[in-house]
Structure 1
């Protein structure tokens, strides 16, 4: 396992410690959760972009419009 040192403003550090405490976890575990979520989002976006390059642009926009219409109901 690697060690990472980051610099944060003191107030942000304190708020993150309070968040971790409120969740009943350590600050280390909180950052593990944050990084896992960021990686999952990055991977999903990468897969989406690769598929979009191979797909039909007009059909993709049509599907997004349909999602917007469904979401507004």
Structure 2
């Protein structure tokens, strides 16, 4: 694991510490959880941007496929 020194304004530090205490978790764990959430959001945004770039200019084809699927009705489960 890597140690990280972060400089925060005193007020922000006190508020984060109070938040961690209210959740019954150490401040380090709270910050680790926040970092995990931010990375998950970043990964999701990156994934959606890549998918959007791959599908750029294919809106009409997508709509045609949806229309065809709707006209064929639901697929029976096996």
Q: TM-score range, shorter-chain basis?
A: 0.7 to 0.9
Aligned partner of 1:33 in structure 2 is 33
Could you tell me how far apart the structure 1 residues matched to 2:17 and 2:38 are?
19
Aligned length: 59
Question: 5+ unaligned residues in a row in structure 2: which ranges?
Answer: 60-78
In structure 2, the residue matched to 1:51 is 51
Stretches (4+) displaced over 2 A: 56-59
Task: Tell me the TM-score normalized by structure 2.
Answer: 0.71
TM-score (norm 1): 0.76
Separation of aligned partners in 2, 1:22 and 1:57: 49
**Counterpart Cα distance in 2 of 1:6 and 1:16:** 13
Q: Distance in 2 between matches of 1:10 and 1:38?
A: 23
RMSD: 1.3
- Report the structure, 1 or 2, having the larger helix content: 1
Distance 1:48 1:9 in 2: 35
String of CA shifts for 1:37-73, please: whole Å, max 9, x gaps. Answer: 00000000000000000114574xxxxxxxxxxxxxx
